[in-house]
Chains A and B, each alone.
Chain A
Amino acid sequence: MRPSSPQAIDQAAVPWLLAVALATASPHGEHLPPWLSVLFAAALLWRLWLWWQRQPLPPRWLLALLVLAALAGIAWQYRSLLGRDSGVAMLVMFMALKPLEMKTRRDAMVVVMLGFFLLLTHYFYSQSIPTGLWLLASCTLLTAALIRLHGGSQPPAAIIRQAGLLLLQALPFMLILYLLFPRVSGPLWGLPQDAHAGRSGLSNEMAPGSISNLILSGAIAFRSHFASGIPEKSDLYWRGPVLDAYDGLTWRASTPAAGRARMVPVVEARGTPYSYSSIIEAHGQRWLLALDVATSLPAGAVQAPTLEVLAREPLRARSRFVFTSSVDYHANRNETAAALQQALALPPTINPRARALADQWKSRPPARIADAVLSLFRNEDFHYTLRPPLLGADAVDEFLFGTRRGFCEHYASAFVFLLRAAGVPARVVAGYQGGEVNPVDGYLIVRQSDAHAWAEVWLAGEGWVRYDPTAAVAPSRIEQGIVAALPQDEPLPAIVGLDADWLRQLRYRWEAANNAWNQWVLGYNPQRQRDILSRFGMANPDWQGMSAALAVLSGVALLLVTVWTLPRRRRADPAQRAWQRYCKALARRGVTRAAWEGPLAFARRVAVERPQLAALTSDAARCYAALRYGRGDSEQLLVLQECVHRLPARWRNSP
């Protein structure tokens, strides 16, 4: 028993709340400005010291001053207080300073609610499996802090165990809500500018170095799952942006003239089509990286005249798409004059030596010109390297006749320049080439390190034909991948260069787990929800149906949890039950045993009031007294039970 004042916070609960602050805010240290992390740590240590020394909390005005200073710092750091990152910074700042004015239980509740909010903000930056596990751990800690606040002092292990039990019981609700809560596809309003910061991938222009930088990343660009059989590795060209405008340094996608965008490409596919689904990581662009060339598109996507598949909106989140592609095809045999003209355009005057070389080939048929460039690359002293020398203004000239060291972007660029100079329509295509099959789940994984650039040449009667000049220099790049193609001493993305077999196996497993996580947890969007619910037998899952199912299932789960946690009574021992039955039966006949009346005293009273029951009651009472207070044995229990049975049946049962 203790007197209780519901307002003041129990001092022994303070470390729990500081742990909450630490657990929910510290993972943000990775992307917060260092001064804010220092402020956070200092504030927490200060509060811990005050608690340890039992010192009073700092005055309000000092805290207000600190908040103002920190707000000014955040505004200066992020140039705004309204963005996503500055919002997170403000939450962390409040989490650092709120414990310093934590006097009442209400203040402590504010700290815990701030903690819940901060937990959510972690998912702006990562939604990986470790983050998910951190979610569970932090939730347990927050729940434990709430239990400590409202349940008084207990050993920490007991508190954690109760928190775990509560969360375990909450899990069914989470699953039901996750499956059935009608999903809305966001965003509900315009997101701040920094909402999608830090996405990597192909860009819509190709300058020297842009792809070789990308290649150093082992990050996954997308995963594909083929329904039946994966095409040959040398056929795995995943089309990104088509770059057909050159300014002497950078290749860009030309802005299509009005009306041209509506032109539908004509694809004549031959051979077996491949059906597959791709889960593409968010890259902030519209292209969907279909296998060349897509013959059927996912809903809502369009095929540009240059054959790449475009989503309606830039890809802001990891998404899943279903395609059919053919690797053997003719595309746009009748190309528009405008497109061909764009595929011949070159900036004037630059690269005179390359132009002179191309002029010699002008009389040949276009296909022979392309072959001539490839054999130039193949036979002369060209090298494939990630660390090419820097090039000047006449980049193609310097590359072809000087350095002769380059990467796919150099070869594609030089190839297309030569063909255009020789009067053959050609363009650069950026995308990915190859991929790696994960034996664990059978998915083909394409990484940023598989980024590639190649060329397409328009041949009369055949349409656009792919030429990969890199293959002429380093055939192994196409057949085996980047690791085989690069010289030994070149830097490689760490994850790609793994040699040890067990490490590779571990990586396969981890990536397969991630893939499942992505698909089933993170990729659970309105579309996927409808798919899964119709597979479960909901004919036409709309929000009314989902809400109804949600309500019913939640009710059932609530009932189950209620039954699970129902107080379990200890069973009365058989002697007590028999005695209670006996007394109840007598009570129906008007002799009620008082609560204070012992068995023997009761028997004496019965002997007076109901003499005909005296002997029986005396037996029963003596046996019960022996069983209860003396050394009764099983024989006396039998006698007692026999006494109950010797009462007339109509007394024993209800009146």
Chain B
Amino acid sequence: MRQLNVLQQWLFGHRRDQQWPLILGQRRIFIVPSAAGILFAVVLLVMLVGAINYDLSLGHALIFLLAGLGLVAMVHSFHNLFGLRLTPGRADATFVGDLARFPLQLENPRRQQRRALELSFSAQPVVAVDLPAEGSASITLPCLAQRRGRLDPGRITLVTRYPLGLFRAWSYIHPSWSCLVYPKPLRTPLPPASTATVAEYRRGDGGQEDFAGLRARQHSDPTRHIAWKAVARRTDEQALLVKQFAGGASDELWLDWSLTPADRDSEERLSILAGWIMLADEQQACYGLRLPDQQIAPATGSAHRAACLQTLALYQTEETRDAA
């Protein structure tokens, strides 16, 4: 077993690739007959026996032509990968249960097209791509995010059976890739106003905001806040108007670990916090996050949301524990 591991290590070299773009050379490309290729060989052997037995000269010619075709197919399968250039991109953060998408740029520097390149992480959906001559393609490789934290999708397996399916040529690519995985947001109502830590911030009943006036729409305003009636009345102006709510953007709200139900396990409590963050962000509330060992001051905007979610994602993972 150990020898097998050593052999695998020697053959496939499970190291992370550092140099980009990565150019596939013959050291990285492996090729073996596929199941169909073995079937093809067996069929050819049986045909050869038949041709010898019945003394079919043209049968010999056919079998030899097909044998040559098999050899040529092997060369073409190899060349379908040889010289391919790959550059990995940065993966956007995602939530547990969603697909993490890892962008990858493939470049074909040669004058022939490459076809049916199948890429996948192990046990993940396969993405097939064709590259035109001297062309390139950008793909995103999906990987199911199952746990919060940093997702390491492992190495990519790049397989091709083109042109005839008789050979399976493959290569492993192992970028230093990771994707931040947030906890799956659990939609529960925002914590009630009475529990807000700073008392002077008045909040509407049951979290409902009070209408406070109109202002010109800015780009980040959600469409459902547009005051369509008011816009319809005022035909002279270009800008859209949005409704402003008291207890909205100007309010501060603490999303506190201690406000989540204590009888749930910590992952679920993180999910509830994530759900609050999403909800508060949608309502453009000014919110802060408080965890047992850290807190983030109240703010608004997508960068703040990302920072909060990242804190939840990495909460008490190895990464943050090592840092502490």
Contact = CB atoms under 8 A, between A and B. Distances in A.
A150 B164 CA distance: 6
B126 interface: yes
B40 A170 contact: no
Contacts of B279: none
Interface centre among B35, B53, B72, B79 (most CB of A within 10 A): B72
B129 interface: yes
Interface stretch (B105-113, B220-228, B257-265): B105-113
A567 B24 CA distance: 12
Nearest to B83: A567
Interface string B100-143: 00000000011110011010000001111110001001111000
Contacts of A186: 52-55
A558 B72 CA distance: 8
A196 to B, nearest CB: 9
Contact of B71 (A173, A183, A195, A566): A173
B53 A188 contact: yes
B56 A123 contact: yes
B47 interface: yes
Contacts of B130: 151-152
A123 B58 contact: yes
A25 to B, nearest CB: 16
A162 B130 CA distance: 15
A124 interface: yes
A117 B68 contact: no
B76 interface: yes
B57 A127 contact: yes
Nearest to B20: A595
B64 A174 contact: yes
Interface stretch (A379-387, A475-483, A517-525): A517-525
Contact of A567 (B39, B66, B110, B162): B110
B51 interface: yes
Contacts of A143: 69, 164
B163 A147 contact: yes
A116 B116 contact: no
B129 A170 contact: no
Contact of A124 (B56, B69, B162): B56
Contact of A135 (B58, B164, B166): B58
A255 interface: no
A565 B112 CA distance: 9
A170 B65 contact: yes
A152 B43 contact: no
Contacts of B76: 166, 565
Contacts of B127: 1-4
Contact of B118 (A6, A135, A185): A6
Contact of A188 (B49, B128, B163): B49
A415 to B, nearest CB: 41
B75 interface: yes
Contacts of B59: 120, 123
Contacts of A525: 55
A5 B76 CA distance: 22
Nearest to B163: A147
Nearest to A159: B163
A146 B163 contact: yes
A187 B79 CA distance: 41
B278 interface: no
Contact of A132 (B39, B58, B73): B58
Contacts of A106: 35-36
B129 A191 contact: no
Contacts of B95: none
Contact of A120 (B50, B67, B109, B137): B50
B61 interface: yes
B62 interface: yes
Contacts of B161: 150
Interface centre among B36, B43, B55, B109 (most CB of A within 10 A): B55
A513 interface: no
A317 interface: yes
Nearest to B161: A150
Interface string B277-306: 000000000000000000000000000000
A143 B110 CA distance: 24
Nearest to A87: B50
Interface in A94-122: 105-106, 109, 113, 116-117, 119-120
B58 A191 contact: no
Interface string A283-311: 00000000000000000000000000000
A339 to B, nearest CB: 37
Nearest to A181: B64
A191 B72 contact: no
Nearest to B21: A595
B35 to A, nearest CB: 8
B36 A195 contact: no
Given A116-B43, A116-B47, A146-B165, A170 B53 contact: no
A184 B64 CA distance: 15
B254 interface: no
A510 to B, nearest CB: 18
A92 interface: no
B67 A151 contact: no
B131 to A, nearest CB: 11
B163 A120 contact: no
A172 B68 contact: yes
A171 B61 contact: no
Contacts of B63: 120
Nearest to A105: B165
Contacts of B118: 4, 6
Contacts of A650: none
Contact of A171 (B68, B112, B165): B68
B68 A109 contact: no
B82 interface: yes
Given A4-B127, A172-B68, A178 B60 contact: yes
Nearest to B128: A4
Interface string B71-89: 1110110010011000000
B72 A570 contact: no
A135 B59 CA distance: 10
B127 to A, nearest CB: 6
Contacts of A522: 57-58
Contacts of B137: 1
A84 B53 CA distance: 12
Given A1-B127, A5-B126, A113-B40, A317 B83 contact: no
A649 to B, nearest CB: 28
A547 to B, nearest CB: 14
Given A4-B126, A109-B36, A177 B68 contact: yes
Given A120-B62, A146-B165, A521-B58, A3 B111 contact: no
Interface in B235-273: none
Nearest to A523: B57
A521 B61 contact: yes
Contacts of A3: 125-128
Interface centre among B58, B64, B65 (most CB of A within 10 A): B58
Interface string A150-193: 11101000000010001101111110011001011111110100
Contact of A566 (B52, B79, B165, B166): B79
- Top 5 A-B pairs ranked by shortest CB distance? A173-B68, A170-B68, A567-B110, A4-B128, A177-B64
Given A120-B63, A169-B68, 6 more contacts: A1-B128, A109-B165, A185-B55, A191-B53, A570-B109, A570-B110
19 contacts: A1-B137, A113-B40, A117-B43, A117-B47, A120-B62, A123-B51, A124-B54, A139-B65, A146-B163, A147-B163, A152-B115, A178-B64, A187-B55, A191-B53, A521-B58, A524-B57, A525-B55, A567-B79, A569-B83
Interface of B: 20, 35-36, 39-40, 43-44, 46-47, 49-69, 71-73, 75-76, 79, 82-83, 109-112, 115-116, 118, 125-130, 134, 137-140, 161-166
